[in-house]
Amino acid sequence: MAGMPPWAVLAQIVILLAGATLLGLAAQRLGQSAVSGYLLAGVLLAPYLLRGTGAAAVGLLAEIGVALLLFTIGLEFSPARLRALGWHVAALGLLQIAGTASAAAAGARAIGLSWRLAVLIGIAVAMSSTTVVLRLISERSELDSVHGRAALGVSLLQDLAVIPAMLLAALPAGAAGPLLLGAALVKAVGLLGAMYVLIRWAIPAVLMPAAGGRNRDLPVLLSTVVCLGASWAAHALELPAVLGAFAAGLLLSQCALADQIRADVIPLRAAFLPLFFASAGMLAGVSGWAGAGRMLGLVVALTVLKTLVVTLAGVALRLPPGGALRAGLMLAQIGEFSFVLLESARRSGLLEEALFRLLLSVSVTTLLLSPPLVGASGALASALEAVLRRRTGLAPVPLPEAAPARRGHVLVIGYGPAGRQVAAHLTSRGLPVLVLDLNPRTLAEGGPSALIEYGDATQQEILERAAVQRARAVVVTAPDPLTARNIIAQVRRMAPQALVIVRARYHIHRDLLREAGADRLVSEEVLVGRELAAETLDALGERA
């Protein structure tokens, strides 16, 4: 198998991707995360696929997928977003990570594992799935609830904890820990410093002109080069490659184009990331009934531990007890970053194959249990809150008020001459306006009455960020009819209640735009004809 021809390797990769796609779709139909389907595809196909050359090829593509995942998660961070969480959520996140990691590490030490492996397993167990948490919160429309904000904030803080954990996991087994860890930290700080200088000054000088051009491929290409280049630089310094990608995303999050970069990279990530989870699933598994019993015992113990730590920490911080419990149940699974950490530890020789497989199986099972646990959280939370209030008499401290969600605004697509006039007239009437435009030079022209954001309105994620679901109306000023049709179709699917008013450059395009879902059309040819007629009558002295 080690000498498999390239096309045979490609055929097996296609089979693995097809299996991941089918089981990912099935998992979503059953209310699960698509990640669960990817993992199960690897478990089921493991006996038949990929050894030698094939396994190496999948490994390389999987690492690219993980790099892109961490890059996009890094783009989510910003100082303003972290400050908006409030000190209650920050303290809850720190207590959750420290409490869960300490308890799990103590258990690992009790069964004879080394301190370094115990700490690493503790941190891996403490990680939850940001993807699953966000999906559960969004599906239940609980983003502004106490438990929704707490769970999402804690999961974001967990993502930051990956940086030191990855350094610890990448050290070779049996290495002189403190000395090598110190050297790794020095190299990491040096890499971050160099990347900061590059991304702060050099990259924007290239990225902004590229984003302002008509070629939409160049910003995507530059973003990919930054992500994979940072991964390569980290690898060259003997640091975890994905650490460079995460740091690049973190630093680029301060760029005005961060949302669009993230939207551009997500399709690339979607092509590679399933291979990582499927390849992780190929390594998961337990041997015999005894192994299954240990796996289920660990699932129960870790689920209870993670829920209990968040609940107790939340009550100690005087958050609503029911909200703390519900947040704990949302965070009870073991997420995708755990796979990254465990895989890194396995490659460095720190984690044995059998234990690696067992921990992966535990992670997969906790992901599958997340939806039913969250579904039952309401009744459990109500009962707990009533008991605690009777026995303690403590009044819960509400989380800081979330920033009001954008709603009732008019979304204007495009800020050319037509878009400027629309925005100016609407704001003069006191209407809230948000403009989306693909020219980064227009960003500075926005103000309190008409905000301007950079983004491609044909992409779902950009429209979600612009809160199109809660918009009162959408005005599409794009002159190209095909682009306008794509925007209208996206808007109509995401916000069926919004009025859609569209510019039609030529009369012949009216039917195309109406079929896409436009409510009202403004034909330039009709307007030009009226103006020409009026000017002609005025010139002839015939104007009334």
Q: What is the DSSP string of 394-436?
A: PPPPPPPPPPPPP-S-EEEE--SHHHHHHHHHHHHTT--EEEE
pLDDT of residue 1: 44
**CA-to-CA distance for 109 and 115, rounded, in angstroms?**
6
**Residue holding tokens 């699933």?**
281
Looking at the fold, whether 431 and 338 belong to one and the same domain comes out as no
Contact 450, 460 (CB under 8 A): no
Residue 58 lies in a domain: no
Nearest to 474 by CA among 494, 500, 451, 504: 500
Looking at the fold, whether 270 and 183 belong to one and the same domain comes out as yes
| Full pLDDT tens readout for the chain, 544 residues | 445 566 677 777 788 788 888 888 888 787 666 777 887 787 777 666 655 555 666 666 667 777 777 787 777 766 666 666 677 778 888 899 999 999 999 999 998 888 888 888 999 899 888 777 776 776 666 666 777 778 878 887 887 777 777 777 666 665 555 666 677 778 878 888 888 888 777 777 777 676 666 666 777 777 788 888 888 888 888 777 777 888 888 778 777 777 777 777 777 777 777 777 777 667 666 555 566 788 899 999 999 999 999 988 888 887 777 888 888 888 888 877 787 788 778 877 788 888 888 888 888 788 778 878 887 777 777 777 677 666 665 555 555 555 556 788 999 998 888 888 998 899 888 888 999 887 777 766 665 556 888 888 888 878 888 888 889 999 999 888 888 888 998 899 888 889 999 998 887 888 888 888 889 998 888 888 888 888 888 888 775 5
Looking at the fold, whether 102 and 195 belong to one and the same domain comes out as yes
Nearest to 321 by CA among 329, 173, 220, 111: 329
Looking at the fold, whether 232 and 320 belong to one and the same domain comes out as yes
CB atoms within 10 A of CB 531: 10
Looking at the fold, whether 383 and 414 belong to one and the same domain comes out as no
Cβ burial of 422 (10 Å; 0-12, 13-18, 19+) is buried
Looking at the fold, whether 222 and 171 belong to one and the same domain comes out as yes
What is the torsion angle, in degrees rounded to the nearest 10, for the CA atoms of residue 58, residue 67, residue 29 and residue 142? 170
Residue 80 lies in a domain: yes
Looking at the fold, whether 133 and 169 belong to one and the same domain comes out as yes
**Residue holding tokens 């630093």?**
251
Q: For the chain, what is the radius of gyration of the CA atoms? A: 26
Cβ within 8 Å of residue 531, ≥6 positions away: none
CATH of the domain at 415: 3.40.50.720
**Residue holding tokens 């005894």?**
290
**CA-to-CA distance for 538 and 279, rounded, in angstroms?**
75
Structural domain count, the chain = 2
Residues in the chain: 544
Nearest to 55 by CA among 297, 279, 367, 268: 279
pLDDT of residue 52: 55
Last residue within a domain, chosen from 337, 361, 390:
390
Looking at the fold, whether 342 and 203 belong to one and the same domain comes out as yes
Collapsing DSSP states into helix, strand and coil, what is residue 513? Answer: helix
Looking at the fold, whether 368 and 259 belong to one and the same domain comes out as yes
Residue 485 lies in a domain: yes
Looking at the fold, whether 193 and 281 belong to one and the same domain comes out as yes
CB atoms within 10 A of CB 22: 12
Strand pairing partners for 500? 474
Residue 509 lies in a domain: yes
What is the torsion angle, in degrees rounded to the nearest 10, for the CA atoms of residue 108, residue 113, residue 114 and residue 116? -40
Residue 161 lies in a domain: yes
pLDDT of residue 300: 92
Cβ within 8 Å of residue 339, ≥6 positions away: 276, 277, 280, 360, 363
Residue 174 lies in a domain: yes
Residue 317 lies in a domain: yes
Contact 277, 20 (CB under 8 A): yes
- What are the structure tokens assigned to 354, written together? 């059998």
Residue 247 lies in a domain: yes
CATH of the domain at 213: 1.20.1530.20
Looking at the fold, whether 384 and 519 belong to one and the same domain comes out as no
Contact 263, 455 (CB under 8 A): yes
Range of the domain at 247: 64-390
Last residue within a domain, chosen from 340, 355, 390:
390
Looking at the fold, whether 351 and 444 belong to one and the same domain comes out as no
- What are the structure tokens assigned to 108, written together? 């690992």
Last residue within a domain, chosen from 335, 355, 390:
390
